[in-house]
A and B are shown apart, each in its own frame.
Chain A
Amino acid sequence: MKRCGLLFTFVAVFFFSLGFAGYSDIQTAEAAREIKLGAALPLTGALATEGKKQRAGYEIWRERVNAQGGVNVGGKKMKVKIIYLDYESKTPTATKLAERLITREKVDLILGPFGSGATKSVGAITERYQIPLIAPVASSEPIFDQGYKYMFGMLAPNSFLPNSFFELIKKQKPRPRTMAFATRNDFFPRYITKAIRSQAKKNGFMDVYYAEFPKDSKDHSTWLTIVKSKKPDVLMIAGYLPDTLLATKQANELGVNPKILFTMVGPVYSQFTDALGSTANNILTAAWWGEALDYKGDFIGSASDFGKIWRKKFGKEPDYVAAASAAAGIVAQRAFEAAGTLNKQKVRDAIAKTNLQTFFGPVKFDKRGQNTSSAIVLFQVQGGKRKTVGPPSVANGTFNYPR
């Protein structure tokens, strides 16, 4: 039929015109005299708050670098430009956008997305294109087990947590004996729960209950009711902010009252303490950074200096997501300087040799790309303030027990 013929011509023309569409921006990328970084972040959707914190962290670093004229690459000062794209909290979109940043925007380095799962997916792409990826928010070991050469993580591995955790809770009197666990069925929460749970027995704890709840669960009363009947001394809840926030609230309503409530992630986020108020008191949590820590570097200054910058901008306490993001920028900056070129291979080698003291703590990557020189710190909210309660080397408060 003729009417379809018309349509086919239309479709064929469409095909061709679109095929050419990618051509126009090839030249422009070459001419620019700046360092181009790309970041696909969850700026909308379930993880939007995290993504925005990451962006703010990257921006604090970028503004500082550009204010002093840029990064010194082989004797030439180059300004930094960061291209942000929104992956809508959907991992497949994150990989798609990472690819777009690499092929279309021709970025020199990728700054990581949020969380272990997304980082792993994006890591598969950056590895294929052999472009460095510095991931500020990914701590689960299996991400780094793929033998990827171009992926680096700012956070200390999850396996650092159990030692300091058990060291702290074992010395409490009367000694807690039983533990219950609940985790979001997701990469990072499950992994961190496994890390603790696998060592519970060795440290003399009885494992009385374990539950996995679905991603973005809207009700936790089912497993909380069981936990209540088991009366554990220690309850660990693992998940992302919406999960632990809701679970803690419901635990309080249902009268679940363990001697130690350990949530990951939890009260290091100001949203957590803002939303829960006094309920957040005496909850134990762990994080990779806090502004009270005695970390110092030559670029942004000390941990509390970063806290000041953040407060001035947002009027709130910063958390490790923002700090790690800004620190990822510093690592990139020093690597570009050390390499003296934007050559991706050389920049990658320079990142691998990183040995820095920063406001975020020491940064040194192991063979697999994880920052093993850093630490995981235990915090407790006491009277609305976050106190570091472990490990002893960085603690500035005493642990309130039982809560």
Chain B
Amino acid sequence: MFKPWSKIQWFLMGMGVFALILMPSFSENDVIRKWMDILMIAILATSWNFIGGLTGYPSFAPAAFFGLGAYITAILMNAGFNFFLTLAIGSAFGGVIALLLGIPILRLRGHYFAIATFGVAEFFREMADNLRITGGGDGINLPQIIGGPDYFTRFFYFSMLGVAVLAFLVQYFVTRHRLGYGLVAIRENEDAAAMTGIDTTKYKIIAFVLSSVFPAMAGGVYAYRAAFLEPIDVFDILFSIKAIVMTMLGGVGTVMGPLVGSFLMEYLADYLWSAFTEFHSMLLGIIIVLSVLFLPRGLMHLFQELRLKGWRSLGAILRNNIQRFRV
């Protein structure tokens, strides 16, 4: 199901990344900043895809690791560490925590797993709210970056882009590797997967670790940029929910899905927000509900189906999707 990309596909992807690298040289800071946000959400969505999309375990943990990374960068930078070093330490720490957490909670399935991961995020938030080292409810300061607006906007943008490219590449190679097939097998039928000789516990833990390291890095970049953190700002469950919604919109279990979903959703949310100040959230909610009804498997799957059946079958596909709920 995951075929290696052709040269043309790699070329186009390269063009895309190239466009993202060139973009800051002819854009305003505000646009660059928005793209940094989009990349951040894309990182969260791509990471969620490891555990949620490929393995089929509905995790609410991205916010937990995002906040963890943010706080580690804050604490270490205050101790005089180099920014990039803090990102590495933060993601490594996130990975270790995910490993330790994964061992007990990956025994749970379905709703139970979802609730456990939800609890993890809340647990970290409470810790940050009450520990002295995190500044408690007062929040924590980070050193201000030195340099003008043009410099720091680009600095954070490229840092985020670097993490995004890394997350994407890892995802690509995982899906084309034995590991990816194993994860999909677990999603489709965990018992059957175990029967065929897949070490399901090990695979699931690897997926959970992979889904935690990149959010931790993104959190670190976010923290340095914000220069001041409060626990509720970074351990916000909304980060997890956004990652899930964007992956669903784009296409669960596909490599491009999380990216496409993040771009569309962030732009849509931004447009609605500026066009309908008073009830933008409601409209966004309606759009999400409609897209779940009509595109339960996301845009990427719709594209794939359209390529197979032709554009004329669009109506039939949508009708088919919604009819499944009539059972």
Contact = CB atoms under 8 A, between A and B. Distances in A.
Interface of A: 1-9, 11-12, 14-16, 18-23, 26, 43-44, 86, 88, 90-92, 95-96, 99-100, 103-104, 117, 120-121, 124, 127-129, 142, 146, 185-187, 190-191, 212, 214-215
B129 interface: yes
Contacts of A100: 30, 33
Nearest to B137: A185
Interface string B296-326: 0000100110010000000000000000000
B307 A103 contact: no
Contacts of B13: 8
A4 B9 contact: yes
A92 B219 CA distance: 13
Interface stretch (B96-104, B176-184, B196-204, B227-235): B227-235
B6 A1 contact: yes
A7 B13 CA distance: 10
B141 interface: yes
Nearest to B32: A22
Contact of A22 (B3, B27, B300): B27
B33 A99 contact: yes
A103 B27 CA distance: 11
Given A1-B6, A5-B9, A8-B12, A187 B303 contact: no
Contacts of A127: 144
A129 B304 CA distance: 46
Interface in B146-192: 149, 152
Contacts of A43: 277
Interface residues of B, number: 52
A15 B152 contact: no
A5 B6 CA distance: 9
30 contacts: A1-B9, A4-B256, A5-B9, A5-B12, A6-B307, A7-B300, A8-B12, A8-B15, A9-B12, A11-B263, A18-B31, A18-B35, A19-B31, A21-B31, A22-B28, A23-B28, A91-B232, A96-B33, A99-B33, A100-B33, A103-B28, A117-B230, A121-B228, A121-B230, A124-B227, A124-B228, A128-B152, A146-B141, A186-B137, A187-B139
B30 A103 contact: yes
Contacts of A4: 5, 9, 256
Given A23-B27, A185-B137, A191-B138, 7 more contacts: A5-B8, A86-B277, A103-B30, A128-B149, A142-B138, A146-B141, A186-B137
B19 A12 contact: yes
Contact of B15 (A6, A12, A86): A12
Contact of B144 (A2, A21, A91, A128): A128
Contacts of A215: 137, 232
A25 to B, nearest CB: 9
B137 A187 contact: yes
Interface in B1-56: 3, 5-6, 8-9, 12-13, 15-16, 19-20, 22-23, 26-31, 33, 35, 37
Contacts of B33: 96, 99-100, 103
Given A86-B277, A117-B230, A19 B19 contact: yes
B16 A15 contact: yes
Contacts of A128: 144-145, 149, 152, 227
Interface of B: 3, 5-6, 8-9, 12-13, 15-16, 19-20, 22-23, 26-31, 33, 35, 37, 129-130, 136-139, 141, 144-145, 149, 152, 226-228, 230, 232-234, 236, 256, 259-260, 263, 267, 277, 281, 300, 303-304, 307
A26 to B, nearest CB: 7
A181 B139 CA distance: 21
A18 B267 contact: yes
B260 A20 contact: no
A214 B129 CA distance: 9
A190 B137 contact: yes
Contact of A91 (B233, B300, B303): B233
A131 to B, nearest CB: 10
A19 B256 contact: no
A89 to B, nearest CB: 10
B238 to A, nearest CB: 8
A9 B9 CA distance: 10
Contact of B16 (A11, A91, A191): A11
Contacts of B3: 1
A147 B228 CA distance: 14
A6 B299 CA distance: 13
The 9 closest A-B pairs by CB, nearest first: A8-B12, A22-B31, A3-B307, A124-B227, A22-B28, A185-B137, A103-B30, A19-B23, A104-B30
Contacts of B233: 90-92, 121
Contacts of A8: 9, 12-13, 15-16
A240 to B, nearest CB: 13
Given A19-B27, A128-B152, A191-B138, A7 B260 contact: yes
Contacts of A5: 6, 8-9, 12
Contact of A15 (B23, B136, B149, B307): B23
A8 B15 CA distance: 9
Nearest to B149: A129
Nearest to A86: B277
B137 A124 contact: no
